Amino acid sequence: MGFNLGMIERTIAVLGAGMIGKRIVDDLLRTFDGNIVVLSRHPGKSRRLFPGRRRSVPLVFRAGDATRPTGLVKALKGAAAVVNAVHHEHNEAVMGACLRAGAHYVDLGGLYHYTLKQLAWRRRFERARLTAVLGMGAAPGITNVLAACGASELTRVDAVEIRIGMVDRSSYRRASPLSNSYSLQTLLEECSWPPAVFRNGKAAFLEPFSGRDPYRFPAPVGRQTPQYTIHSEVATLPRTLRARDVFFKIAFDDGFVERIQALREAGLLDPENVSAAAGILSRLPPAIAAKIEQYEIIQVIVKGRRGSERRTARWEAHVPAAGETVDKDTAAPASIVAQGLARGEITRAGVFPPESVIEPGAFFEELGRRGIRIHKNGRRVLNLSDIP
pLDDT of residue 4: 39
176 falls within a domain: yes
**Residues of the chain by 3-state class (helix, strand, coil), percent to 5:** 35, 30, 40
pLDDT at residue 204 tops 60: yes
pLDDT at residue 177 tops 90: no
**Per residue in 207-252, pLDDT tens?**
998 999 999 999 999 999 999 999 999 999 999 999 999 999 999 9
Q: Which domain holds residue 183?
A: 142-322
- Phi/psi-derived region of residue 15, left when phi > 0, alpha when psi is between -120 and 50, beta in every other case: beta
Mean pLDDT of 71-88: 96
Region of poorest pLDDT, from 91-100, 234-243, 317-326? 317-326
Q: Assess whether 78 and 154 both reside in one domain.
A: no
CATH number assigned to the domain comprising residue 215: 3.30.360.10
Region of poorest pLDDT, from 151-160, 279-288, 345-354? 279-288
pLDDT of residue 384: 76
Q: Which residues, at least 6 apart from 178, have a Cβ–Cβ distance to it below 8 Å?
A: 184, 187, 256, 259, 281, 284
33 near 56, Cβ under 8 Å? Answer: yes
DSSP, res 89: G
Report the alpha-carbon angle 337-356-84, nearest 5. Answer: 40
When pLDDT is cut at 50, 70 and 90, the band that residue 55 belongs to is: low
In terms of pLDDT, which residue wins out, 17 or 299? 299
Tally the C-alpha atoms within 13 A of residue 272's C-alpha that lie toward its C-beta. 1
Q: Cα(153)–Cα(368) distance, rounded to whole angstroms?
A: 22
When pLDDT is cut at 50, 70 and 90, the band that residue 325 belongs to is: confident
This model's pTM is above 0.85:
yes
372 falls within a domain: no
* Max CA separation in the chain (angstroms): 62
C-alpha distances (whole Å) from 314 to each of 97, 186, 300, 333 are 39, 28, 6, 20
**Per residue in 60-79, pLDDT tens?**
999 999 999 999 999 999 99
106 near 78, Cβ under 8 Å? Answer: no
When pLDDT is cut at 50, 70 and 90, the band that residue 280 belongs to is: confident
pLDDT of residue 57: 64
CATH number assigned to the domain comprising residue 34: 3.40.50.720
Q: Assess whether 104 and 210 both reside in one domain.
A: no
Mean pLDDT of 5-31: 84
When pLDDT is cut at 50, 70 and 90, the band that residue 2 belongs to is: very low
Distance of CA 234 to the CA centre of its chain: 14
pLDDT at residue 322 tops 60: yes
Which 3 state secondary structure label does DSSP give 56? coil
DSSP, res 141: B
Q: Assess whether 295 and 353 both reside in one domain.
A: no
Q: Assess whether 170 and 77 both reside in one domain.
A: no
**Per residue in 115-173, pLDDT tens?**
999 999 999 999 999 999 999 999 999 999 999 999 999 999 999 999 999 999 888 88
pLDDT at residue 80 tops 70: yes
185 falls within a domain: yes
Q: Assess whether 198 and 307 both reside in one domain.
A: yes
Q: Cα(329)–Cα(371) distance, rounded to whole angstroms?
A: 9
137 near 109, Cβ under 8 Å? Answer: yes
Q: Cα(28)–Cα(333) distance, rounded to whole angstroms?
A: 11
pLDDT of residue 253: 87
User: How many independent structural domains does the chain possess?
Assistant: 2
